[in-house]
Structure 1
Amino acid sequence: MQFVAQMERNPMPLSARDLMDKLVSFPTVSRDSNLELIDFVENYLADLGVSATRVPNDDGTKAALYAHIGPQVDGGVVLSGHTDVVPVDGQAWDSDPFTVTEREGRLYGRGTCDMKGFDALALSAVPLALERGIKRPLQIALSYDEEVGCTGAPPMIDHMVAMGMPRADTVLVGEPSMMKVVTGHKGGIGYKMHFRGFEVHSSLAPTGVSAIMMAAKLINWANEVNAENAAKPVTELAADFVPPYTTLHVGTIQGGTAHNITAKDCYFGFDFRIVPGEDIGAWQARFMEKVAELEAEMKAVRPEAGITAEQYFHVPGLVPEAQGKAEALVRQLTGENASNVVSYGTEAGQFQERGYSAVICGPGDIAQAHQPNEFISVDQFRQGEAFISRLVDMLAE
């Protein structure tokens, strides 16, 4: 496959800041399409003489994109980021969230921190790589739907492998880490839950099945398991995480018709954040056993009742690698020697699951992610620019 097209170079590539301004201007909330942003990136790379490959989702409303710059050899670096952002609905912003606004040393806007700031830095590396004549490849990988379970990255990674793109030594996921090297993160699984009850007047509640009240039993089970996990001795692999144990969580819930009718339906999401060293499959089995127990209780009253648990994401944890090439390279570039882990999940674990050496390092503070008035500091963004310049220099050696 031809990953680099020899085309006329754009005489004036955009700066990293200009690129961030442009990327933030696309309101790529996960529930919506990201195709306008992908169109822009694909055209921008084409103007630089670089061809990109799209990997669309099933209905064609979204796409991932990857590109290869430099010689057709193994041993390069993948700069990986996601293009989607979380909603701004109900948040009090002091400025337009889809316009980068600079105030008092901060760059405000949805995605400036998580993680269009890094995406812009990754794209800014392309003209640098072309100018400096890199000897090891630079690869760009931009996914979709990271915010709803990292569901867009796996088909992109699989496509990269299937199409024979030269194998990189390092995958650098630029999630905000204050430019610290992160070598581990929790894994995760998530389920879309639907409890189907049987409606009767609430005065006759024992003859019906309340989907909401049965769902509450599963949610209470989550609280009990969280307390159980918190009380266990902390394992060595989990010790650096906050919290240092696996957590279960329900964030939204919908259901019911009226206060005096047993609820026919209840819908909610049920997520696990699993520390390294624990078996995701074992947690799945324990969860489904509890679901089956509750479903049997419901059907004993009304056979029509039941539970559907649809798994919608599965994110493997990122496990620290013994003598990992990604960690060694990024530590060399940053000079940072501390060991760091994070509790959120990323595509780093998905790359690692497919045999890549992966690490997380990016500008910005994760505490700003998803917040109203999200920002990245100008200083962090400049540190990111300096990091990218050093990386390209290393690839040119």
Structure 2
Amino acid sequence: MKLPNFEQSLSALVELSSISSTNACWDQTNKPVIDLLANWFDYLGFSVDISLVPDSRNKYNILAKLGSGEGGLLLAGHSDTVPYDESGWLSDPFSIKQKDGRFYGLGTCDMKGFFACIMQVCRNLSVTDLTKPLYVLVTADEETSMAGARFFSKSQTIRPDVAVIGEPTELTPVIMHKGHMSHRITVLGKSGHSSQPAGGVNAIEIMHHIISKLLKLKRQLALNYSNQAFDVQEPTLNFGAIRGGDSPNRVCGHCELDIDLRALPGMKDEELLYWLSESSKDIANQYVGRIKFDEIDPSAPSFEQNKDSDVVLFTEKLSGHNCCAVNYATEAPFIQKLSGQTIVFGPGSISQAHQPNEFLAEDQISKTLNILTQMIQRYCITINDKT
């Protein structure tokens, strides 16, 4: 077996579709990607452990380890991509197109390119070089439920000194992000003929009152909570989807609203759920048994890392970028349970993620290889008392 170069590695990973979706028609297993990476890691001398993620649609994690002992470095990321709109792509999403200093393809920056970089950094690395272990974690379903990272954080006993989640940050160390929770509000009305509205209970009208209360909550959150580290400084409440009714001449008997709430670090899920419940409590009391709140996906916590941590200062120095906060959620809070020093840091831009014609800029690759090499040197080869 011959280990492929960067472009060959990236091409092979992108060719293997590994879409995660809440829609079963789109959702796919990630096993082909996991098997390919397992073969490469095995060739490089890593020990490889593949785990089936419980209660998933045939999804897997992989933990590869080189070296022994305590501490060390964990490089982590997800194997899945979002679905794609073929009409928006100018090339085949599953075939790498190199043009104008960019590699185009689904998952190139989010985040299969990170694993292609890891392969190149490790190709000349020997276990005899290491004084502490190097781990590589590949997870499942980050784009939906984060089930892979949740399972890993509960089932593993490894305790690396430092963890790096290679999401596309344009090689800027991210030390803070918001949490994420999503809920579905369902109103069960009573259908009837529109000429006799009193004979029914209009679910859309009830939902209108609920939305008014939620808009008030949204304003209160913005007034009372703020963090200047974020470009969107307040917690956000988004009305993402609404469904209700079937005909203009019928009283609507059923209506659903899907909402998304992104909390600042320090805000607890219990508080948020209480505020959501309290916001429409009087309406629920008026329409007993007709309103329910259901979680769509398990909530993802917010994330915060001390900006004076060794890994933050070291990565700032290597990258030339100051640490920052971002509005989106990652697997960092789950990985942080295993490692006291955790950052989000990787090649590519988040503005390309989840977009048609996603690409990874070539000028990010050599920088990533250099930084990962120096991280492995610092946390796995050179004994560093600061960790």
What is the TM-score when the length of structure 2 is the normalising length?
Answer: 0.88
2:347 is aligned to: 363
Pairing 1:65-76 to 2, within 5 Å after superposition: 65-71=62-68, 73-76=69-72
Asked if structure 1 preserves the Cα contact closer than 8 Å seen for 2:62 and 2:138, the reply is: yes
Residue 293 of structure 1: CA displacement?
3.7
Q: Distance in 1 between matches of 2:373 and 2:43?
A: 21
Select which of 97, 102, 109 maps to 2:98.
102
SS of residue paired to 2:196:
helix
Residue 340 of structure 1: CA displacement?
0.7
Tell me, which stretches of 5 or more residues in structure 1 are unaligned?
1-9
Pairing 1:18-57 to 2, within 5 Å after superposition: 18-31=8-21, 32=27, 33-50=29-46, 51-57=48-54
Distance change >3 Å, CA 325–CA 105, structure 1 → 2: same
2:292 is aligned to: 307
Select which of 171, 194, 201 maps to 2:163.
171
1:242 is aligned to: 231
Q: Distance in 2 between matches of 1:99 and 1:122?
A: 20
Pairing 1:83-102 to 2, within 5 Å after superposition: 83-89=79-85, 91-102=87-98
Deviates more, 1:367-376 or 1:113-122: 113-122
1:396 is aligned to: 381
1:385 is aligned to: 369
Residue 252 of structure 1: CA displacement?
2.4
Q: Distance in 1 between matches of 2:150 and 2:292?
A: 28
Residue 322 of structure 1: CA displacement?
5.9
> 1:58 aligned to 2:58?
no
Q: Distance in 2 between matches of 1:123 and 1:260?
A: 62
Distance change >3 Å, CA 295–CA 355, structure 1 → 2: farther
Q: Distance in 1 between matches of 2:318 and 2:127?
A: 20
Provide the aligned C-alpha RMSD in A.
Answer: 2.4
Residue 277 of structure 1: CA displacement?
2.9
Residue 106 of structure 1: CA displacement?
1.2
Q: Distance in 1 between matches of 2:377 and 2:56?
A: 40
Tell me the amino acid that sits aligned with residue 188 of structure 2: R
Q: How many percent of aligned residue pairs carry the same amino acid? A: 28
Q: Distance in 1 between matches of 2:34 and 2:251?
A: 47
1:150 is aligned to: 146
Pairing 1:1-397 to 2, within 5 Å after superposition: 10=1, 12-31=2-21, 32=27, 33-50=29-46, 51-59=48-56, 61-71=58-68, 73-89=69-85, 91-130=87-126, 133-161=129-157, 165=158, 167-232=159-224, 235=226, 238-299=227-288, 305-310=290-295, 312-321=297-306, 323-336=308-321, 338-353=322-337, 356-394=340-378, 395-397=380-382
Residue 345 of structure 1: CA displacement?
0.8
Distance change >3 Å, CA 134–CA 353, structure 1 → 2: closer
Q: Distance in 2 between matches of 1:356 and 1:28?
A: 30
Residue 239 of structure 1: CA displacement?
0.3
Residue 329 of structure 1: CA displacement?
4.0
Q: Distance in 2 between matches of 1:248 and 1:134?
A: 47
Tell me the amino acid that sits aligned with residue 40 of structure 2: Y
SS of residue paired to 1:376:
strand
Tell me the amino acid that sits aligned with residue 218 of structure 2: N
Q: Distance in 2 between matches of 1:222 and 1:107?
A: 43
Tell me the amino acid that sits aligned with residue 241 of structure 1: F
Count of aligned pairs between the two proteins: 374
Tell me, which stretches of 5 or more residues in structure 2 are unaligned?
22-26, 383-387
Q: Distance in 2 between matches of 1:172 and 1:25?
A: 25
Deviates more, 1:99-108 or 1:290-299: 290-299
Residue 245 of structure 1: CA displacement?
0.5
SS of residue paired to 2:74:
strand
Tell me the amino acid that sits aligned with residue 380 of structure 1: Q
Tell me the amino acid that sits aligned with residue 320 of structure 1: Q
Residue 20 of structure 1: CA displacement?
1.6
Residue 59 of structure 1: CA displacement?
4.4
Q: Distance in 2 between matches of 1:49 and 1:286?
A: 52
Tell me the amino acid that sits aligned with residue 306 of structure 1: I
SS of residue paired to 2:219:
helix
Residue 19 of structure 1: CA displacement?
1.9
Residue 227 of structure 1: CA displacement?
3.2
Superimposed CA distance per residue, residues 294-352 of structure 1 (whole angstroms, 9 cap, x where no aligned partner) = 333333xxx5x33242252221111131642432443354344x231101111112222
Residue 116 of structure 1: CA displacement?
1.4
Tell me the amino acid that sits aligned with residue 378 of structure 1: E
SS of residue paired to 1:115:
helix
SS of residue paired to 1:98:
coil
What is the TM-score when the length of structure 1 is the normalising length?
Answer: 0.86
Residue 34 of structure 1: CA displacement?
1.4
Superimposed CA distance per residue, residues 28-75 of structure 1 (whole angstroms, 9 cap, x where no aligned partner) = 22122212212222233233333223242314511122121112x222
Tell me the amino acid that sits aligned with residue 261 of structure 1: R
Distance change >3 Å, CA 76–CA 96, structure 1 → 2: same
Distance change >3 Å, CA 57–CA 255, structure 1 → 2: farther
Q: Distance in 1 between matches of 2:210 and 2:147?
A: 25
Q: Distance in 2 between matches of 1:225 and 1:292?
A: 12
